[in-house]
Amino acid sequence: MPVAYGVFVGINYERTSAALRGCMNDARNWYRALGSHCIETALLLEDEASRQGIIGTLTKTLAKLKAGDWLVFTFSGHGTQVKDASGDEQDGKDEAICPYDYQKSLILDDEIRAVLSRRNPESFVLAIMDCCHSGTNLKALDMAPRSLDWSEIPEEAKLLISNDTRGAAGDDGVMLISGCDSSEVSFDITENGVPCGALTSRALAAWKDLAQGATYGFWYQKIRKELPSSRYRQTPQFEPSPAHMGQFPVIGKWQQAGNVPPPPDAAWTPDSITMNGATYDKRK
Protein backbone atom coordinates (compact mmCIF):
# COMPACT_ATOMS: atom_id res chain seq x y z
CA MET A 1 0.00 0.00 0.00
CA PRO A 2 1.40 3.46 -0.87
CA VAL A 3 2.76 5.51 2.00
CA ALA A 4 3.77 9.14 2.52
CA TYR A 5 6.88 10.86 3.87
CA GLY A 6 7.04 14.45 5.08
CA VAL A 7 9.74 17.15 5.07
CA PHE A 8 8.57 20.40 6.69
CA VAL A 9 10.84 23.47 6.58
CA GLY A 10 10.40 26.81 8.36
CA ILE A 11 12.97 29.62 8.63
CA ASN A 12 12.43 32.90 10.49
CA TYR A 13 16.03 34.14 9.94
CA GLU A 14 16.05 35.37 13.53
CA ARG A 15 18.56 38.06 14.49
CA THR A 16 19.08 39.07 10.86
CA SER A 17 17.87 42.05 8.84
CA ALA A 18 15.68 39.62 6.88
CA ALA A 19 13.79 38.31 9.93
CA LEU A 20 10.29 36.91 9.51
CA ARG A 21 7.95 35.74 12.25
CA GLY A 22 5.55 33.09 11.01
CA CYS A 23 7.63 30.57 9.07
CA MET A 24 8.54 28.21 11.91
CA ASN A 25 4.89 28.23 12.98
CA ASP A 26 3.94 27.25 9.43
CA ALA A 27 6.30 24.27 9.45
CA ARG A 28 5.08 23.12 12.85
CA ASN A 29 1.46 23.45 11.75
CA TRP A 30 2.02 21.43 8.59
CA TYR A 31 3.85 18.84 10.69
CA ARG A 32 0.94 18.63 13.13
CA ALA A 33 -1.65 18.36 10.36
CA LEU A 34 0.08 16.02 7.91
CA GLY A 35 2.78 14.35 9.99
CA SER A 36 0.43 11.74 11.43
CA HIS A 37 -0.37 10.64 7.87
CA CYS A 38 3.32 10.02 7.08
CA ILE A 39 5.39 7.01 8.09
CA GLU A 40 8.48 9.20 8.43
CA THR A 41 8.87 12.95 8.90
CA ALA A 42 11.59 15.59 9.19
CA LEU A 43 10.98 19.02 10.73
CA LEU A 44 13.74 21.48 9.80
CA LEU A 45 13.72 24.80 11.66
CA GLU A 46 16.20 27.69 11.49
CA ASP A 47 19.81 26.43 11.33
CA GLU A 48 18.61 22.86 10.65
CA ALA A 49 17.27 24.26 7.37
CA SER A 50 20.65 25.10 5.86
CA ARG A 51 21.26 24.47 2.18
CA GLN A 52 22.91 21.17 3.04
CA GLY A 53 20.18 20.30 5.53
CA ILE A 54 17.35 20.86 3.06
CA ILE A 55 18.93 19.17 0.03
CA GLY A 56 20.39 16.34 2.10
CA THR A 57 17.09 15.57 3.84
CA LEU A 58 15.16 15.66 0.58
CA THR A 59 17.69 13.41 -1.14
CA LYS A 60 17.66 10.79 1.63
CA THR A 61 13.88 10.82 1.87
CA LEU A 62 13.29 10.60 -1.88
CA ALA A 63 15.53 7.53 -2.06
CA LYS A 64 13.00 5.68 0.11
CA LEU A 65 10.01 6.23 -2.16
CA LYS A 66 8.56 3.22 -3.92
CA ALA A 67 5.95 3.15 -6.68
CA GLY A 68 2.82 4.97 -5.56
CA ASP A 69 4.48 6.61 -2.54
CA TRP A 70 4.35 10.34 -1.83
CA LEU A 71 6.69 12.96 -0.45
CA VAL A 72 5.14 16.07 1.09
CA PHE A 73 7.62 18.97 1.12
CA THR A 74 6.64 22.32 2.62
CA PHE A 75 8.85 25.40 2.69
CA SER A 76 8.11 28.64 4.52
CA GLY A 77 10.74 31.35 4.26
CA HIS A 78 12.21 33.88 1.86
CA GLY A 79 12.46 33.51 -1.89
CA THR A 80 14.46 35.66 -4.29
CA GLN A 81 15.34 36.07 -7.95
CA VAL A 82 18.79 35.54 -9.43
CA LYS A 83 20.34 35.96 -12.86
CA ASP A 84 19.34 33.02 -15.06
CA ALA A 85 22.42 30.99 -15.96
CA SER A 86 20.64 28.19 -17.82
CA GLY A 87 18.80 30.34 -20.35
CA ASP A 88 15.43 28.72 -19.60
CA GLU A 89 13.74 31.84 -18.21
CA GLN A 90 12.19 34.35 -20.61
CA ASP A 91 12.72 37.29 -18.24
CA GLY A 92 16.38 36.38 -17.65
CA LYS A 93 15.75 35.66 -13.97
CA ASP A 94 15.74 32.39 -12.09
CA GLU A 95 13.87 31.84 -8.85
CA ALA A 96 15.49 30.58 -5.67
CA ILE A 97 14.66 29.90 -2.04
CA CYS A 98 16.78 31.20 0.79
CA PRO A 99 17.99 28.53 3.22
CA TYR A 100 19.07 29.53 6.72
CA ASP A 101 22.61 30.10 5.44
CA TYR A 102 21.45 32.08 2.39
CA GLN A 103 24.32 34.52 2.94
CA LYS A 104 26.60 31.71 1.75
CA SER A 105 24.47 30.03 -0.90
CA LEU A 106 20.94 29.83 -2.30
CA ILE A 107 18.88 26.95 -3.70
CA LEU A 108 17.60 27.49 -7.25
CA ASP A 109 14.12 26.28 -8.11
CA ASP A 110 15.74 24.31 -10.96
CA GLU A 111 17.92 22.59 -8.35
CA ILE A 112 14.86 21.66 -6.31
CA ARG A 113 13.14 20.22 -9.36
CA ALA A 114 16.29 18.28 -10.23
CA VAL A 115 16.55 16.84 -6.72
CA LEU A 116 12.85 15.91 -6.71
CA SER A 117 13.23 14.14 -10.07
CA ARG A 118 15.77 11.69 -8.63
CA ARG A 119 13.23 9.30 -7.18
CA ASN A 120 11.17 6.29 -8.20
CA PRO A 121 9.50 7.45 -11.44
CA GLU A 122 6.16 6.05 -10.28
CA SER A 123 6.16 8.03 -7.02
CA PHE A 124 4.78 11.51 -6.41
CA VAL A 125 5.65 14.79 -4.70
CA LEU A 126 3.45 17.49 -3.22
CA ALA A 127 5.44 20.71 -2.70
CA ILE A 128 3.88 23.65 -0.85
CA MET A 129 6.01 26.79 -1.13
CA ASP A 130 4.92 29.68 1.10
CA CYS A 131 7.43 32.20 -0.19
CA CYS A 132 7.76 34.57 -3.13
CA HIS A 133 10.38 35.81 -5.52
CA SER A 134 9.52 39.40 -6.42
CA GLY A 135 11.02 42.14 -4.32
CA THR A 136 8.88 44.86 -2.77
CA ASN A 137 9.14 47.80 -0.45
CA LEU A 138 5.78 47.04 1.15
CA LYS A 139 6.01 46.85 4.92
CA ALA A 140 3.39 46.84 7.67
CA LEU A 141 3.34 46.12 11.38
CA ASP A 142 1.47 42.85 10.93
CA MET A 143 2.39 42.00 7.36
CA ALA A 144 5.68 41.54 5.50
CA PRO A 145 6.64 40.05 2.12
CA ARG A 146 8.47 36.73 2.12
CA SER A 147 11.05 37.78 -0.45
CA LEU A 148 14.57 39.17 -0.56
CA ASP A 149 15.73 41.51 -3.29
CA TRP A 150 18.78 40.44 -5.31
CA SER A 151 20.63 43.42 -3.85
CA GLU A 152 20.22 41.93 -0.37
CA ILE A 153 22.01 38.69 -1.32
CA PRO A 154 25.74 38.75 -0.42
CA GLU A 155 28.19 38.55 -3.32
CA GLU A 156 29.66 35.35 -1.86
CA ALA A 157 26.30 33.62 -2.14
CA LYS A 158 25.82 34.82 -5.73
CA LEU A 159 29.15 33.29 -6.73
CA LEU A 160 28.34 29.92 -5.17
CA ILE A 161 25.00 29.31 -6.87
CA SER A 162 24.97 25.70 -8.04
CA ASN A 163 24.38 24.76 -11.66
CA ASP A 164 23.55 21.13 -10.86
CA THR A 165 20.10 21.06 -12.43
CA ARG A 166 20.19 17.63 -14.04
CA GLY A 167 16.64 16.34 -14.30
CA ALA A 168 15.04 19.77 -13.88
CA ALA A 169 12.70 19.33 -16.83
CA GLY A 170 8.93 19.14 -16.35
CA ASP A 171 7.79 16.35 -14.04
CA ASP A 172 4.15 15.25 -14.09
CA GLY A 173 4.65 13.50 -10.75
CA VAL A 174 5.31 16.77 -8.89
CA MET A 175 2.43 18.96 -7.77
CA LEU A 176 3.28 22.44 -6.56
CA ILE A 177 1.12 24.82 -4.55
CA SER A 178 2.79 28.21 -4.25
CA GLY A 179 1.72 31.36 -2.47
CA CYS A 180 1.40 33.77 -5.39
CA ASP A 181 2.14 34.37 -9.05
CA SER A 182 5.44 35.76 -10.25
CA SER A 183 4.39 39.42 -10.00
CA GLU A 184 2.99 39.22 -6.45
CA VAL A 185 4.29 38.59 -2.95
CA SER A 186 3.40 36.00 -0.31
CA PHE A 187 2.73 37.58 3.04
CA ASP A 188 4.03 36.84 6.51
CA ILE A 189 1.05 37.87 8.64
CA THR A 190 -0.40 37.75 12.14
CA GLU A 191 -3.79 36.20 12.83
CA ASN A 192 -5.34 36.16 16.29
CA GLY A 193 -1.99 37.23 17.66
CA VAL A 194 -0.12 34.31 16.04
CA PRO A 195 2.40 34.87 13.20
CA CYS A 196 1.89 32.66 10.13
CA GLY A 197 1.88 32.67 6.35
CA ALA A 198 -1.25 33.79 4.53
CA LEU A 199 -1.09 30.79 2.17
CA THR A 200 -0.39 28.27 4.92
CA SER A 201 -3.18 29.62 7.10
CA ARG A 202 -5.77 29.38 4.30
CA ALA A 203 -4.50 26.07 2.94
CA LEU A 204 -4.59 24.37 6.34
CA ALA A 205 -8.05 25.70 7.12
CA ALA A 206 -9.28 24.40 3.76
CA TRP A 207 -7.55 21.03 4.29
CA LYS A 208 -9.25 20.51 7.64
CA ASP A 209 -12.65 20.98 6.00
CA LEU A 210 -12.03 18.52 3.16
CA ALA A 211 -14.10 15.37 2.97
CA GLN A 212 -12.38 12.01 2.68
CA GLY A 213 -11.47 11.41 -0.95
CA ALA A 214 -11.32 15.11 -1.87
CA THR A 215 -8.85 15.84 -4.65
CA TYR A 216 -6.11 18.41 -5.04
CA GLY A 217 -8.26 20.33 -7.50
CA PHE A 218 -11.02 20.70 -4.92
CA TRP A 219 -8.50 21.71 -2.25
CA TYR A 220 -7.07 24.35 -4.55
CA GLN A 221 -10.56 25.62 -5.31
CA LYS A 222 -11.22 26.11 -1.59
CA ILE A 223 -7.92 27.94 -1.12
CA ARG A 224 -8.74 30.26 -4.02
CA LYS A 225 -12.01 31.22 -2.35
CA GLU A 226 -9.89 32.86 0.38
CA LEU A 227 -6.96 34.22 -1.64
CA PRO A 228 -6.53 36.71 -3.11
CA SER A 229 -8.47 38.90 -0.70
CA SER A 230 -8.85 42.64 -0.28
CA ARG A 231 -6.10 42.58 2.35
CA TYR A 232 -3.77 39.93 0.93
CA ARG A 233 -3.43 40.41 -2.81
CA GLN A 234 -1.67 37.15 -3.56
CA THR A 235 -2.97 34.51 -5.95
CA PRO A 236 -1.97 30.95 -5.01
CA GLN A 237 -0.71 28.90 -7.95
CA PHE A 238 -1.19 25.18 -8.63
CA GLU A 239 1.27 23.57 -11.01
CA PRO A 240 0.61 19.94 -11.81
CA SER A 241 -0.32 18.26 -14.98
CA PRO A 242 -3.87 19.72 -15.06
CA ALA A 243 -5.32 16.21 -15.29
CA HIS A 244 -3.82 15.38 -11.90
CA MET A 245 -5.98 17.97 -10.17
CA GLY A 246 -8.88 15.54 -10.10
CA GLN A 247 -6.94 12.28 -10.17
CA PHE A 248 -5.50 11.99 -6.67
CA PRO A 249 -7.08 12.37 -3.23
CA VAL A 250 -5.30 14.80 -0.93
CA ILE A 251 -2.84 13.36 1.59
CA GLY A 252 -4.64 12.77 4.88
CA LYS A 253 -7.90 12.30 2.97
CA TRP A 254 -7.04 9.03 1.28
CA GLN A 255 -9.35 6.75 3.23
CA GLN A 256 -13.11 6.83 2.75
CA ALA A 257 -15.24 6.73 5.89
CA GLY A 258 -16.91 3.35 5.40
CA ASN A 259 -18.62 3.32 2.02
CA VAL A 260 -19.68 6.96 2.12
CA PRO A 261 -18.57 8.64 -1.12
CA PRO A 262 -17.11 12.13 -1.14
CA PRO A 263 -19.47 15.01 -1.98
CA PRO A 264 -20.13 15.43 -5.73
CA ASP A 265 -17.86 18.45 -6.02
CA ALA A 266 -14.97 16.87 -4.11
CA ALA A 267 -13.53 15.57 -7.37
CA TRP A 268 -13.71 19.02 -8.98
CA THR A 269 -11.39 19.47 -11.90
CA PRO A 270 -11.50 22.67 -13.99
CA ASP A 271 -11.84 22.52 -17.75
CA SER A 272 -8.92 24.92 -17.88
CA ILE A 273 -6.54 26.59 -15.48
CA THR A 274 -4.33 29.64 -15.82
CA MET A 275 -0.91 29.47 -14.18
CA ASN A 276 1.63 32.26 -14.41
CA GLY A 277 -0.02 33.67 -17.51
CA ALA A 278 -0.34 30.36 -19.42
CA THR A 279 -3.73 28.64 -19.87
CA TYR A 280 -3.98 24.87 -19.95
CA ASP A 281 -7.17 23.28 -21.27
CA LYS A 282 -7.80 19.61 -20.46
CA ARG A 283 -10.41 19.46 -23.24
CA LYS A 284 -7.74 19.81 -25.92
Q: Which of 118, 1, 128 lies closest to 61, judged by CA?
A: 118
Q: How far is CA 25 from the centre of its chain?
A: 15
The one catalytic residue among 78, 98, 131, 196: 78
Map out the domains of the chain with their CATH numbers: 4-281 (3.40.50.1460)
pTM of the model: 0.81
Measured CA to CA, the distance from residue 130 to residue 145 in angstroms comes to: 11
What is the pLDDT at residue 82?
82
* pLDDT band of 19, cuts 50, 70, 90: very high
Measured CA to CA, the distance from residue 188 to residue 21 in angstroms comes to: 7
Phi first, then psi, for residue 239 (nearest 5°) are -125, 80
Check pLDDT > 50 for residue 8: yes
Q: Is 78 considered catalytic here?
A: yes
| Under 8 Å between Cβ of 18 and 68 | no
What is the pLDDT at residue 56?
98
Q: Is 131 considered catalytic here?
A: no
pLDDT digits (tens, 9 = 90+) for 37-80: 999 999 999 999 999 999 999 999 999 999 999 999 999 999 98
* pLDDT band of 150, cuts 50, 70, 90: low
The one catalytic residue among 98, 132, 180, 196: 132
